[in-house]
Structure 1
Amino acid sequence: MMLSENQSKELLCQYGVSIPEGRLAHTPDEAERLCKEIDARKYVVKAQITAGGRGLAGGIKFAATPSAVANEARALLNSTLVTDQTAASGEKVRSVYVEAAVDIANSYYIAISFDPGSGRPMLLASASGGVEFEQLARMDESTVKSHILDDTPEARDALTAFLKDVGIEGPEALDTIENARKAFCDNDLTLVEINPFVRTRDGKWMAVDAKLALDRNASFRRPEFDSMITDPGTSSDETEAQKYNINLVQLTGNIGVVTNGAGLGLATNDMITDAGGKPANFMDIRTTARSFDIARGVEMLLTDAQVQVLLLNIHGGGMTAADTVAEGVNFAYSRAKRKLPVVAHIAGHNAEWGTNILRDRKVPVETFDTMSGAINRVVEIAKTGRAR
């Protein structure tokens, strides 16, 4: 789960990463009043959304006076920003972050994620930071360089050499990146992104913008982050689904998708798109979900007015057997007012039992032995509106 800028900076600051002085505001008057607490000659007003690309979408404004800050906050609050990283509907701005403008000498990009090969933290860095970074990175992959981070004395020398090649030098910059690595490891993060990472005119290194991602699968170890699940970038249904051991992302199509597994969910959505359909969601039923949890996730799809048909693509295995998912679907349909047609492909542990549950309990289901068969049929129903 992505954290907003103010949340990300608050966590990084606790680990010694320098940030510009700033305050979070929810109204124009509050934004103007908080300027008095910030030691600055000029201010930046930033829309607080979780998606990236807000600068290019008009979500970052400069203001010379507290009254100008209020005007910019008034324009941003309750507006909707549409960026390359939001859905077509965009993301609503519910708060703004007011901070001291920084006199930037050099701007860089750094991020810490996991190296898929070694499973160790990996530093990504570029000499080109700021709002244009993503466009530059798309055009030229060599813009970004990578380096595996280790917590050893030898690793610091290697990191120093790597950063020098990017253009980042000095013990303060090195300490900042080490602190960001510690925050990444200590808090079960999947991403630390600082863009821009800047050197100011007076030689200080600061995180002018930052984005962190929490690993929701490690949430049982991090109860202190529970309150952050109300983050403005997460819809109410997505937030609710998290409580029931379901990872849900709402999309813009009309085919409701029920799958158990992130990889299976992504592959299913890709196949729907390739077949000419449009998924209404991504769903990953966690292995810890019970049948009543699954029922809650299915109910969310049944009450979504844009969803016209459900695709159930389940592979029973591990801790989630096919009949557990089928029972969840049955529970949802037994109390639903809106009973949409279901197309199902069920394989793996207890697959036959799961299929029988759906048929015996009178769920309006068509079953297929192959994924492609189920997907072609669900796309047909979504386009024509006709089920058997």
Structure 2
Amino acid sequence: MYGSVPVLGVFLDLLLPVRHSDAPSVVKAQILAGGRGKGKYESDGKGGVRIMSSPIEAFENASMMIGYYLTTKQTPPGGLLVKKLYIYKAVDVAQEYYVALTFDRDRGMPVLLISNVGGVDIESNADKLEHYWFDMTHGITSEITAYVQAQLGFSDAEIGVISHILHQMVKLFKEKDATLLELNPLVRTPEGRFVCLDAKFTFDNSARFRQPEIFSLEERLPDEEVEYEASQAGLSYVRLDGNIGNIVNGAGLAMATNDLVSLFGGKCANFLDVGGGATKETVSKAFEILNRDSRIKGILVNIYGGIVRCDMIAESIIAAAAATKGFKVPVVVRLQGTNCDKGLEMIDKSGLKNLIVEPDFELAAEKIVAVTSKSV
């Protein structure tokens, strides 16, 4: 379990506001996956969204939620570890709505999606979504607002609030380079107030340089931490489900390497591209990342030197071996292109153990599969 006494002590403090209110509270698991209300906890088999009538009940449920794995339709089979809970007073709901802005790639323009069947069942009611396309210059026009009012049956007073919400969403969508703004559910209370009970926002990765404040809030799944670490070092890393680590330069070569390893009966553990501007530091970082991966039983270094010099790659391989006091798994090195003869000579003279040099692409892939199979 994730830290017992200190964590639960924090919940007592979090629940203090609830003690001064007669309203029930909602305790909601915070993980990067949807479907939490219909999910299942490993601790007690209950879902990830619970309504509590008292602080004691909330405390008892929080004790069975934080630090345990929650499985939903959108999580891996083993679920995701819950480290955070969101606590808020419950809201009486008269009507649930789904409201979203996203891009229609086929039409090349943004679209408003809206429905009066919001909440956890929205996926099964996708056919009830109303679609309204618009352009960023004009946003949500009065004509679109009139259609929304007619289709969803909002009163004149209600459509004024909805119109304001939609205009604010368009403003956020445009200014923050969003690709999806989803309010689900947006609810109307019996008193006629509109409250957003849950939301999901995604933003264009290509706009990171324009939106540092937004992306500084980003949370990542455990498997995504390595990808983020690699990207910070100028590497392209994608986790796969095999046991052969790859270090290559160029996306095309990476895909070809993966295909050839598969052809010989192996499975790659990653796609790791050091790029055309690779340096000793980036190559050393690539080895560091792979050395931490307990799944990896062998590493294939496949470099075709163009801008990248093969002798520099050789220096990096030797430095990486020295930093780890020798390679703990077999390493097959294939170097071709700029200064490859010099690089291969440097590796040959290094006296490194557990290292195989093979200039031929197919033979290199065949050899890493062979040595990896022996170590399984």
- TM-score when normalising by structure 2: 0.70
Structure 1 residue matching 2:296: 3-state secondary structure: coil
Alignment match of 1:48 (pick from 30, 52, 65): 30
| Number of the residue aligned with 1:352 | 337
| Number of the residue aligned with 1:103 | 92
- Are the aligned partners of 1:229 and 1:239 in contact in 2 as well (CA < 8 Å)? no
* Alpha-carbon separation, structure 1, partners of 2:183 and 2:256: 31
**In the alignment, does 2:7 pair up with 1:27?**
yes
**In the alignment, does 2:150 pair up with 1:150?**
no
Q: How large is the Cα RMSD of the aligned pairs?
A: 4.6
Structure 1 residue matching 2:88: 3-state secondary structure: strand
**Which ranges of structure 2 fall in alignment gaps of 5 or more residues?**
1-5, 40-46, 348-354
| Number of the residue aligned with 1:218 | 207
Question: Which of the pair has more CA radius of gyration?
Answer: 2
Structure 1 residue matching 2:14: 3-state secondary structure: helix
* Alpha-carbon separation, structure 2, partners of 1:266 and 1:192: 34
| Number of the residue aligned with 1:335 | 323
- Are the aligned partners of 2:110 and 2:133 in contact in 1 as well (CA < 8 Å)? yes
- Are the aligned partners of 1:294 and 1:325 in contact in 2 as well (CA < 8 Å)? no
| Number of the residue aligned with 1:21 | none
Map residues 38-77 of structure 1 onto 2, 5 A cutoff. 41-57=23-39, 58-77=47-66
* Alpha-carbon separation, structure 1, partners of 2:131 and 2:264: 37
- Are the aligned partners of 1:43 and 1:98 in contact in 2 as well (CA < 8 Å)? yes
Tell which deviates more after alignment, 352-361 or 263-272.
263-272
| Number of the residue aligned with 2:281 | 292
* Alpha-carbon separation, structure 1, partners of 2:221 and 2:13: 23
Deviation, structure 1 residue 184: 2.8
**Which ranges of structure 1 fall in alignment gaps of 5 or more residues?**
1-25
Structure 2 residue matching 1:104: 3-state secondary structure: coil
Deviation, structure 1 residue 311: 5.7
- Are the aligned partners of 1:110 and 1:193 in contact in 2 as well (CA < 8 Å)? yes
- Are the aligned partners of 1:248 and 1:284 in contact in 2 as well (CA < 8 Å)? yes
* Alpha-carbon separation, structure 2, partners of 1:359 and 1:51: 47
* Alpha-carbon separation, structure 1, partners of 2:305 and 2:195: 48
Alpha-carbon spacing, 1:198–1:274, altered in 2? closer, same or farther (3 Å): farther
Question: Percent same amino acid at aligned positions?
Answer: 32
| Number of the residue aligned with 1:228 | 217
Structure 1 residue matching 2:141: 3-state secondary structure: helix
- Are the aligned partners of 1:291 and 1:327 in contact in 2 as well (CA < 8 Å)? no
Q: Which gives a bigger RCO, structure 1 or 2 (Cα 8 Å, sep 6+)? A: 1
Q: Which residue type is aligned with residue 304 of structure 1? A: D
- TM-score when normalising by structure 1: 0.68
* Alpha-carbon separation, structure 1, partners of 2:91 and 2:100: 21
Number of residue equivalences: 349
- Are the aligned partners of 1:59 and 1:76 in contact in 2 as well (CA < 8 Å)? yes
Structure 1 residue matching 2:74: 3-state secondary structure: coil
| Number of the residue aligned with 1:208 | 197
Alpha-carbon spacing, 1:328–1:206, altered in 2? closer, same or farther (3 Å): farther
Q: Deviations over 1:354-388 (max 9, x none)?
A: 87687455464656768xx9888877766x3479x
Tell which deviates more after alignment, 86-95 or 164-173.
164-173
